[in-house]
Structure 1
Amino acid sequence: MTASNDIWLPAPTDLTLLPDEIHVWRIDLDQPEPQLQNLAATLSSDETARAERFYFQEHRQRFIAGRGILRTILGSYLGIQPLQVQFNYQQRGKPVLADKFSHSGLAFNLSHSQGLGLCAVNCTRPIGVDLEYIRPMSDLEALAERFFLPREYDMLRQSPNRQQEIFFRYWTCKEAYLKATGDGLSQLEQIEVSLSPTEPAKLQITEDWSLFELVPANNYVAAVAIENFGWGLKCWQY
């Protein structure tokens, strides 16, 4: 797993995404009020309405920050203003770029947990990213038994001191793949992942996919899934 903070670099001013690259952006969702106001001004009317529906102010502010920064990032690749970025929504609500931007080939995926977000971007293949905050869960073994395959469940039980970390590593790897393919969480138990406390994860369901594990901050784990091999990973701090 890539655990070093040193991999998160300031993005260059002349941002270029090569065909064999994946860019992963680390986003702080807890933004100061002046920046939040600027980001809110970039949202579409439906995004603003969605933000207003959050009961807790913290959740509303994090949604505004996540969407506004996503628009800023995508706009920098497309060479347009954040407000000009337009989305379509797939069956399960996953945002994709509107058809007018299809010539760019740009694919992205966003995940957030607590006050942190990750955005993965590629210009040739659908991509999935999942981020989870490692937290205590009383029903962890029951969830693992329900959603994990027998050998995954066994690995979890054999690692009592690292159960939470291993659980969320499995979860993020499966979820990243399902987000890339567009399949729902109902398929979670069909995605086999091999990993160990010391070995990086690999997808067993298919030989044609790459899986990258990341540790974007203390007590977080994340995974990026994308079809094919030979990808170069670049990690930017927004």
Structure 2
Amino acid sequence: MTATHHLWLPASTDLTLLSDEIHVWRIELDQPELQLQNLAATLSSDEMARAERFYFQEHRQRFIAGRGILRTILGRYLGIQPLQVQFNYQQRGKPVLADTFADSGLEFNLSHSQGMGLCAVNCTHPIGVDLEYIRSMSDIEALAKRFFLPREYEMLRSLSPNQQQEVFFRYWTCKEAYLKATGDGLSQLEQVEVLLTPTEPAKLQILEDWSLFELVPTNNYVAAVAIANYGWNLKCWQY
């Protein structure tokens, strides 16, 4: 796997986000009951209502943990309490900071899979992050044929079944991270060409200047971060 096994460091209390930095936070979504209660207390009424709509308790608890920890992280950058963080929602429900915080220039994106979440934060540029748990799927070639471009599909077909699983999810996270950064939906998945091999890191085959980072948050997970421009310094924090 070519994606870097970054060091996930504990963040210092006086957190500074420099203009050339991307901060990626690794979040454990399975939190103890007491911590969950504390996090739930930071959520807005509409977030709690959304949490209550989950059928399974595990999904409800993971939503509360993810949203509460997101509020805690953003509050640290903004110098406010988690409860004071306010969101607006774009189409497809993507949360962004409310207009009140426009001066901060803070951009963020959140992704979660199973019991893990990733939050990517930047000063000025829209950013996208996607995280996937590598799971065994029987119809991987059919999915690739449907959603991927011909070159990507051929690349996947040339691999052993074992390699196919990981490469499929690498393609998927790279495309999804870019679509989340631009605000385009999954219907645009086949518009985004990604160049990668089992031994080479991914690149976006598009005209604009975009940076793509592949990450391995832990075993059996792959992730990608997409952001406009080059020259970014990536820092990985463990919440």
Q: Same fold (TM over 0.5)?
A: yes
Secondary structure class of the residue paired with 1:108:
strand
1:207, 1:10 → 2: CA distance? 34
Match of 1:167 in 2: 168
Residue 137 of structure 1: CA displacement? Answer: 1.1
1:233, 1:147 → 2: CA distance? 29
1:57, 1:201 → 2: CA distance? 37
8 Å CA contact 1:175–1:185 kept in 2: the answer is: yes
Match of 1:146 in 2: 146
Match of 1:213 in 2: 214
Residue 15 of structure 1: CA displacement? Answer: 0.2
* Count, aligned residues: 237
1:105, 1:93 → 2: CA distance? 20
1:136 aligns with 2:136: yes
Relative to the length of structure 2, the TM-score reads: 0.98
1:118 aligns with 2:118: yes
1:192 aligns with 2:190: no
Match of 2:232 in 1: 231
8 Å CA contact 1:129–1:223 kept in 2: the answer is: yes
Match of 1:82 in 2: 82
Structural RMSD (CA): 0.8
Which deviates more, 134-143 or 70-79? 134-143
Amino acid corresponding to residue 185 of structure 2 in structure 1? G
Residue 2 of structure 1: CA displacement? Answer: 3.6
8 Å CA contact 1:3–1:216 kept in 2: the answer is: no
Q: Map of 1:7-22 to 2, 5 A cutoff? A: 7-22=7-22
Match of 1:204 in 2: 205
Residue 47 of structure 1: CA displacement? Answer: 0.3
Question: After superposition, what is the alpha-carbon deviation per residue over 1:88-140, rounded to whole angstroms, capped at 9, x for unaligned?
Answer: 00011100000000000000000000000000000110000000000011221
Q: Which runs of 5+ in 2 are unaligned?
A: none
Match of 1:180 in 2: 181
2:95, 2:155 → 1: CA distance? 34
8 Å CA contact 1:71–1:83 kept in 2: the answer is: yes
2:189, 2:17 → 1: CA distance? 31
1:149, 1:89 → 2: CA distance? 31
Amino acid corresponding to residue 90 of structure 2 in structure 1? Q
Match of 2:41 in 1: 41
* Structure 1 residue ranges, 4+ long, deviating more than 4 angstroms after superposition: none
Residue 156 of structure 1: CA displacement? Answer: 0.6
Match of 1:155 in 2: 155
1:125, 1:205 → 2: CA distance? 18
Amino acid corresponding to residue 172 of structure 2 in structure 1? W
Q: Which runs of 5+ in 1 are unaligned?
A: none
8 Å CA contact 1:36–1:65 kept in 2: the answer is: yes
Amino acid corresponding to residue 234 of structure 1 in structure 2? K
Percent identical among aligned pairs is: 85
Relative to the length of structure 1, the TM-score reads: 0.98
Which deviates more, 204-213 or 191-200? 204-213
